[in-house]
């Protein structure tokens, strides 16, 4: 959960430099004429020379997976940022509910709790162990930089709570609050019992209020981050190279000699709003189809190109198609029975606690829970306003992420096994997010922390 803080901007600099030197961004408008020339090949008797016509169902390859199988978690992003490699199959994830152990009380322990408070403090501040308590709590005057405020200030907790409740709280907070966002540190084995004891020994030393004077240090006064970089300026957003490359892929002949442009001579008009209406329930697959999976399946069926989800070509094409819809309001089709069921499932998946840290999407991304607060140096954003800019450049990762890769990361960061990008569950969640973001204007490619 704790990933790059606001301070870790070394990649940012590297990329800013790279993008500054590499701009020849002029070929913005492509070549409708060239497209028109290609249009003489007739794909099948059903298509005219103008080929694609509104009202016909887009050809899709329906049998094969649209992403790598067997799915293997990324080791590094394209620019070398690493992903954790632990498997968490003994905890629930979005595909398997009911795997995680239920709330349970700590095994018997001695009172008063006596442990090594110094070691407890080291554990409480250790980023490697579940992210440290400081992700969510201010903890007295030794609190390290950029504490979060998802949980209450614990600077005086040693004066207000007894040993037993402290031990129980750290072992499994669900005993007191079934819906707690705080991980069941002991019950889920993040910390051993002797470590919980040492952490409690440290908590018992916290008796003095600690006012953080520095306004940007204090999580309650720290200003929310504002993204002010111009996402459509290629000197600022390296994902703009993806846009150029997407345009090229659109014109490029696939394995059967056809290009996208062979059938779509005027993509600027044909796809002016298309991406804003995605994802959609696709009856032929009986699940939700997003832009990226559409590209894989429609590409296979029409140009015979293999553009697996999250491959460079796929992301580039996704940027291109999203960018054509810039300014269009997100307006997913939600009325059919299939769409309604998918939407309901997506909403319910967003409430499912997953992973060793036992968190749900709604814990971090809704105002009712903990959105608009800080987890260490990262701000928790509300779900509304979070989808219209995908695919997006991630400065802290040095990579372009489609929305499914974002879901995968939000799973892995709470120590839940991620699903392949074309998983049905991600489709349902993507539709639920599109519904929440209805009316937001597509603005792609994005750029974010
Ligand atoms: C993801 C955020 C998060 C992390 C990380 C976290 N907590 Fe909490 N903690 C909370 C929240 C929120 C509460 C408020 C009660 C609740 O919702 O369960 C809380 C409450 C507590 C309380 C009870 C405070 C009181 O008197 O009401 C204690 C003690 C506590 N946390 C200790 C810890 C310790 C020790 C760690 C690190 C091992 C830790 N927390 C890590 C979110 C977190
Ligand atoms: C052989 C002709 C052909 C080729 C090649 C082709 N398409 Fe299509 N495409 C169609 C037809 C037919 C439709 C359905 C009618 C329509 O929506 O215009 C369609 C629809 C679409 C749609 C709207 C889809 C929907 O379901 O609403 C998009 C977007 C699209 N194509 C993109 C592409 C891209 C990107 C490529 C290149 C990978 C491509 N097409 C290649 C024939 C083709
Ligand atoms: C532990 C808290 C946490 C949980 C749980 C979590 N996320 Fe996130 N999520 C984050 C953080 C932190 C960011 C980065 C915010 C930013 O861009 O600064 C983020 C970003 C996102 C974004 C992109 C926001 C943007 O504007 O770029 C989306 C979409 C998203 N999460 C969806 C989800 C979904 C869906 C789930 C559940 C499967 C989920 N998240 C679970 C913490 C969480």
CATH architecture of 101-223: Orthogonal Bundle (1.10)
Please measure the distance between the N-terminal and C-terminal CA atoms of the chain and give it in whole angstroms: 15
Q: Which ligand is nearest to the CA of 404?
A: 3
Residue having the nearest C-alpha atom to atom 25 of ligand 1 = 157
Q: Which ligand is nearest to the CA of 291?
A: 2
Give the right CATH number for 1-90+230-449 from 2.60.40.290, 3.40.50.300, 1.10.760.10, 3.40.630.30. Answer: 1.10.760.10
Taking the centre of ligand 3 as the mean of its atom positions, its distance from the CA of residue 410, in whole angstroms, is 5
- What pLDDT score was predicted for residue 53? 63
Strand order from edge to edge, sheet including 399-401: 399-401, 392-394, 446-448
Nearest CA-CA partner of 184 in 415, 419, 408: 415
Instruction: Please give all residues whose beta carbon lies within 6 A of any atom in ligand 1, as ranges.
Output: 124, 131, 133, 135-137, 150-152, 154, 157, 161, 166, 169-170, 173, 177, 180-182, 185, 199, 203
Alpha-carbon distance of 309 to 56, in angstroms, equals: 24
* Other CB atoms within 10 Å distance of the CB of residue 11: 19
Alpha-carbon distance of 283 to 289, in angstroms, equals: 10
Instruction: Please give all residues whose beta carbon lies within 6 A of any atom in ligand 3, as ranges.
Output: 1, 350, 359, 361, 363-365, 375, 378-381, 386-387, 392, 406-407, 410-411, 414, 429, 448-449
Q: State the closest ligand 2 atom to the C-alpha of 317, by its place in the atom list counted from 1.
A: 35
What number of CA atoms fall less than 13 Å from residue 408's CA on the CB side?
22
- What pLDDT score was predicted for residue 78? 79
Average pLDDT over residues 55-70: 95
User: Strands 280-282 and 287-289, how do they pair?
Assistant: antiparallel
- What pLDDT score was predicted for residue 14? 29
Tens of pLDDT, residue by residue over 329-354, are 999 999 999 999 999 999 999 999 99
Nearest CA-CA partner of 64 in 345, 309, 408, 321: 309
Residue 437 has pLDDT above 90, yes or no: yes
- What pLDDT score was predicted for residue 294? 98
Residue 2 has pLDDT above 70, yes or no: no
Q: Are 330 and 437 in contact (CB under 8 A)?
A: yes
Q: Which ligand is nearest to the CA of 247?
A: 2
Q: Which ligand is nearest to the CA of 47?
A: 2
Nearest CA-CA partner of 429 in 357, 355, 348, 353: 348
Q: State the closest ligand 3 atom to the C-alpha of 386, by its place in the atom list counted from 1.
A: 26
**Intervals of CATH 1.10.760.10 along the chain:** 1-90+230-449, 101-223
Taking the centre of ligand 2 as the mean of its atom positions, its distance from the CA of residue 157, in whole angstroms, is 61
Tokens in use for 238? Answer: 């390296």
Share of the chain above pLDDT 70, in %: 87
Residue to probe by mutation, ligand 2, list 57, 264, 285, most atoms within 8 Å of CB: 264
Taking the centre of ligand 3 as the mean of its atom positions, its distance from the CA of residue 147, in whole angstroms, is 19
Taking the centre of ligand 1 as the mean of its atom positions, its distance from the CA of residue 174, in whole angstroms, is 11
Taking the centre of ligand 1 as the mean of its atom positions, its distance from the CA of residue 166, in whole angstroms, is 10
Instruction: Give buried/exposed letters for 327-346 (b at 16+ CB in 10 A, else e).
Output: ebebebebeeebbeebbebb
Tens of pLDDT, residue by residue over 351-370, are 999 999 999 999 999 999 99
Taking the centre of ligand 1 as the mean of its atom positions, its distance from the CA of residue 437, in whole angstroms, is 31
Nearest CA-CA partner of 199 in 188, 185, 189, 180: 185
Share of the chain above pLDDT 90, in %: 84
Q: Are 44 and 34 in contact (CB under 8 A)?
A: no
3-class secondary structure per residue, 273-335: CHHHHCCEEECCCCEEECHHHHHHHHHHHHCCCCCCCCCHHHHHHHHHHHHHCCCCECCCCCC
Which DSSP letter does residue 123 get?
H
- What pLDDT score was predicted for residue 80? 83
- Give the least confident one: 1-15, 48-62, 154-168, 312-326: 1-15
Residue 273 has pLDDT above 80, yes or no: yes
Average pLDDT over residues 18-39: 30
Residue having the nearest C-alpha atom to atom 36 of ligand 2 = 260
Contacts of 320 (CB under 8 A, 6+ apart): 242, 243, 246, 247, 249, 250
Tens of pLDDT, residue by residue over 167-199, are 999 999 999 999 999 999 999 999 999 999 999
Concatenate the DSSP letters of all residues of 362-425 into one string. Answer: HHHH-TTTTTTSEETTEEPPPSTTSSTT-SEEETTTTEEE-HHHHHHHHHHTTT-----TT-HH
Taking the centre of ligand 2 as the mean of its atom positions, its distance from the CA of residue 58, in whole angstroms, is 6
């Amino acid at each position: 959960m704790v990933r790059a803080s606001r301070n870790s901007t070394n990649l940012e600099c590297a990329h800013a430099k790279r993008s500054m030197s590499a701009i020849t961004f002029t070929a913005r408008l492509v070549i409708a004429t060239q497209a028109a020339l290609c249009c003489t090949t007739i794909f099948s008797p059903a298509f005219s020379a103008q080929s694609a016509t509104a009202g016909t169902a887009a050809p899709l390859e329906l049998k094969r997976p649209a992403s790598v199988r067997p799915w293997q978690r990324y080791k590094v992003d394209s620019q070398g940022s690493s992903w954790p490699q632990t498997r968490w199959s003994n905890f629930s994830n979005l595909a398997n509910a009911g795997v995680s152990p239920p709330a349970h009380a700590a095994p018997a322990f001695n009172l008063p709790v006596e442990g090594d408070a110094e070691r407890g403090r080291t554990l409480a501040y250790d980023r490697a162990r579940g992210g440290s308590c400081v992700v969510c709590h201010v903890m007295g005057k030794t609190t390290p930089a950029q504490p979060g405020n998802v949980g209450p200030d614990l600077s005086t907790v040693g004066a207000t709570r007894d040993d037993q409740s402290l031990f129980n709280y750290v072992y499994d907070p669900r005993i007191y609050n079934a819906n707690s966002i705080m991980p069941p540190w002991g019950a889920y084995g993040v910390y051993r019992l002797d470590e919980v004891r040492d952490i409690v020994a440290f908590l018992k030393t916290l008796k003095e209020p600690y006012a953080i004077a520095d306004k940007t240090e204090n999580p309650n006064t720290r200003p929310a981050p504002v993204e002010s970089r111009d996402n459509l300026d290629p000197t600022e957003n390296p994902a703009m190279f993806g846009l150029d490359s997407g345009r090229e892929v659109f014109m490029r002949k696939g394995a059967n000699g056809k290009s996208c442009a062979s059938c779509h001579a005027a993509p600027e008009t044909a796809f002016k709003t298309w991406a804003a209406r995605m994802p959609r329930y696709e009856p032929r697959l009986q699940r939700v189809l997003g832009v990226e999976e559409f590209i894989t399946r429609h590409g296979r069926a029409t140009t015979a190109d293999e553009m697996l989800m999250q491959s460079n070509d796929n992301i580039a094409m996704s940027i291109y198609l999203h960018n054509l819809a810039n300014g269009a309001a997100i307006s997913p089709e939600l009325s059919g029975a299939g769409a309604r069921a998918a939407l309901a499932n997506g909403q319910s998946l967003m409430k499912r606690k997953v992973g060793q840290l036992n968190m749900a999407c709604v814990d971090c991304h809704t105002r009712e829970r903990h959105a608009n607060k800080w987890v260490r140096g990262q701000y928790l954003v509300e779900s509304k306003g979070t989808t219209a800019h995908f695919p997006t450049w991630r400065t802290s990762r040095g990579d372009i992420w489609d929305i499914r890769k974002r879901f995968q990361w939000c799973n892995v960061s709470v120590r839940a096994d991620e699903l392949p990008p074309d998983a049905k569950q991600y489709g349902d969640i993507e539709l639920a997010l599109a519904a929440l973001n209805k009316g937001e204007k597509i603005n792609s490619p994005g750029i974010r922390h």
